């Protein structure tokens, strides 16, 4: 099996040992005649922009969970699979849960300034409403982890399809969900339907004191709209891990706003040790003509 690796030079050094260990029968190459390759392993930063010459490729396997940078490429007619990595899923769930607990317990109230603030007892988890926008692999995992701690969790998805242990509402009921979401976790993909979905009207629906945690996509809320909403107190705080421009410029207002916490796109990394076996399984399936895992629906964009 000949596989073309199209990602950054740093990714080659990071991924090659794990990929070759997971799939020893593979010949992994950074270059070569397009017609010799059976599959492509892809990440933004790679050197392929025109997939047309790769006529024998049976699978383009993304190393990223998000595929918005490739799914609109008109030359890509080969099957495209997104990354579903158990390590990434676990990392995202831990990130969402950690920041949700910080919001829930009011950890930022206890400044180390000598003032005894023992009148700020937080409610119990079962009294704090959590909403998760996006019920894909990551959203379901985060919702289950939070529900396991006792939070009443409502998920919102395009279909409203059932998720065991979690109440799920369709996207046309988003406004009702926002009206009671004291902690709002955003894990939607970047598609034309989700861009700027949380506009000024919807942000104003949030309860007083609500927090937004967005490790999904920076295009969900326009920057100036969120900043204005924060100035109005709804939401009370925003934890942001994703941005329209990355790295976030030092002069950006998010860095300096007292109601914003910036994290540098670290909520969920794809880890070669846990992801390489997923890639290997899909490549074997592609070569054997078996059903592929985690195929991207081009009409939905994810």
Q: Which two tokens stand for residue 192?
A: 């034309």
For residue 301, the model assigns a pLDDT of: 87
Helices assigned H by DSSP within the chain: 9-22, 86-105, 137-148, 174-178, 200-204, 223-232, 272-288
Task: Tell me the torsion sign for CA atoms 31, 48, 194, 254.
Answer: positive
The contacts of residue 115 (CB under 8 Å, 6+ apart) are none
Q: Do 248 and 158 have their domain in common?
A: yes
Crossing angle of the two packed helices 86-105 and 137-148, in degrees rounded to 10: 50
Q: Do 47 and 72 have their domain in common?
A: yes
Q: Do 150 and 225 have their domain in common?
A: yes
The contacts of residue 98 (CB under 8 Å, 6+ apart) are none
Confidence (pTM): 0.91
3-state SS class at 260: strand
For residue 224, the model assigns a pLDDT of: 98
Kindly state whether residue 97 falls inside one of the protein's structural domains: yes
Kindly state whether residue 296 falls inside one of the protein's structural domains: no
Q: Do 236 and 186 have their domain in common?
A: yes
Kindly state whether residue 139 falls inside one of the protein's structural domains: yes
How far is Cα 23 from Cα 277, in angstroms, rounded to an integer?
8
For residue 177, the model assigns a pLDDT of: 98
Q: Do 232 and 284 have their domain in common?
A: no
For residue 121, the model assigns a pLDDT of: 83
Per-residue pLDDT of the chain (302 residues; tens, 9 = 90+): 999 999 999 999 999 999 999 999 999 999 999 999 999 999 999 999 999 999 999 999 999 998 999 999 999 999 999 999 999 999 999 999 999 999 999 999 898 999 998 887 889 999 999 999 999 999 999 999 999 999 999 999 988 888 998 999 999 999 999 999 999 999 999 999 999 999 999 999 999 999 999 999 999 999 999 999 999 999 999 999 999 999 999 999 999 999 999 999 999 889 999 999 999 999 999 999 999 999 999 888 88
Domain that holds residue 23: 2-85+270-288
For residue 156, the model assigns a pLDDT of: 98
Q: Do 229 and 274 have their domain in common?
A: no
Is the distance from CB of 187 to CB of 92 less than 8 angstroms?
Answer: yes
For residue 161, the model assigns a pLDDT of: 87
Q: Do 64 and 100 have their domain in common?
A: no
Q: What amino acid positions are annotated as catalytic residues?
A: 217, 265
Q: Do 74 and 100 have their domain in common?
A: no
Give the domain CATH number at 56. 3.40.50.720
For residue 128, the model assigns a pLDDT of: 97
Kindly state whether residue 293 falls inside one of the protein's structural domains: no
Q: Do 161 and 26 have their domain in common?
A: no
Kindly state whether residue 302 falls inside one of the protein's structural domains: no
Provide the domain count of the chain: 2
Q: Do 172 and 160 have their domain in common?
A: yes
Q: Which two tokens stand for residue 221?
A: 């809320």
């Amino acid at each position: 099996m000949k596989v073309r690796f199209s990602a950054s030079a740093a990714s080659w050094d990071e991924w090659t040992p794990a990929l070759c260990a997971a799939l020893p029968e593979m010949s992994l190459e950074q270059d070569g005649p397009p017609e010799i390759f059976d599959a492509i392993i892809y990440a933004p930063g790679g050197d392929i922009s025109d997939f047309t010459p790769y006529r024998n490729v049976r699978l383009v396997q993304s190393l990223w969970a998000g595929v918005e940078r490739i799914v609109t490429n008109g030359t890509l007619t080969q099957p495209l699979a997104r990354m579903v990595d158990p390590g990434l899923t676990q990392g995202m769930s831990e990130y969402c849960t950690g920041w949700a607990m910080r919001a829930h317990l009011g950890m930022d109230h206890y400044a180390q300034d000598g003032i005894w603030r023992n009148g700020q007892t937080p409610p119990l988890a079962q009294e704090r409403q959590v909403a998760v926008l996006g019920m894909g692999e990551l959203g379901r995992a985060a919702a289950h982890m939070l529900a396991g701690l006792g939070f009443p969790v409502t998920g919102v998805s395009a279909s409203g399809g059932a998720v065991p242990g979690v109440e799920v509402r369709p996207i046309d009921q988003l406004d009702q969900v926002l009206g009671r979401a004291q902690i709002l976790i955003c894990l939607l993909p970047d598609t034309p339907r989700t861009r700027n979905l949380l506009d000024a009207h919807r942000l104003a629906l949030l309860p007083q004191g609500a927090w937004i945690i967005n490790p999904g996509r920076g295009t969900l809320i326009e920057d100036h709209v969120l900043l204005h909403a924060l100035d109005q107190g709804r939401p009370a705080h925003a934890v942001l891990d994703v941005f329209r421009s990355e790295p976030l410029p030092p002069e950006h207002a998010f860095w300096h706003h007292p109601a914003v916490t910036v994290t540098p796109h670290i909520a969920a990394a794809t880890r070669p040790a846990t992801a390489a076996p997923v890639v290997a399984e899909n490549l074997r399936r592609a070569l054997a003509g078996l059903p592929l895992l985690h195929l991207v629906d081009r009409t939905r964009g994810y």
